[in-house]
């Protein structure tokens, strides 16, 4: 059993659990979707040196540099301190610049990224 702190509250994480599983088991409201490390919905900010490498799998270097991890992939071996990731930090702003119909059911969407979002 490992202690994790999430948004200032302490929780127990079982040896066979991911951080996401432990938080959900204890009725913590945390966003998640695929539980496989692909969708990035369960991104949380971590501090400290006890972060397992698999918790950063599939993350780009910019997110890793900012201290983000995937709660669904993290199986901590030592105490860990985590916090909610703010959407404004994770996601950039973009506008739809063009929509091109490829078939009756499929369209290609072109986005313009706003430089100030980085």
Average per-residue pLDDT for the chain: 90
Q: Is the pLDDT of residue 93 over 90?
A: no
The hierarchical CATH code for the domain 2-85 is: 3.10.20.30
> Cα separations (Å) of 16 from 2, 20, 21, 33, 75?
10, 12, 9, 20, 7
pLDDT one-digit tens code per residue, 61-90: 989 998 999 999 999 999 999 999 876 566
* Phi, psi (deg, nearest 5) at residue 34: -80, -25
Domain boundaries, the chain: 2-85, 92-118
Q: Model-level pTM? A: 0.75
pLDDT for 50: 86
């Amino acid at each position: 059993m490992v202690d994790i702190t999430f948004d200032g509250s302490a929780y127990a994480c079982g040896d066979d659990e991911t951080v996401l599983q432990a938080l959900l088991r204890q009725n913590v409201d945390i966003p998640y979707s695929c539980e496989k490390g692909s969708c990035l919905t369960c991104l949380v900010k971590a501090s400290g040196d006890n972060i397992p490498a698999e918790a950063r799998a599939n993350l780009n270097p910019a997110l890793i540099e900012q201290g983000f991890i995937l709660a669904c992939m993290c199986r901590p071996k030592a105490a860990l301190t985590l916090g909610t990731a703010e959407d404004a930090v994770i996601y950039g702003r973009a506008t739809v610049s063009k929509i091109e119909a490829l078939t009756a059911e499929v369209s290609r969407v072109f986005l313009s990224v706003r430089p100030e979002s980085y």
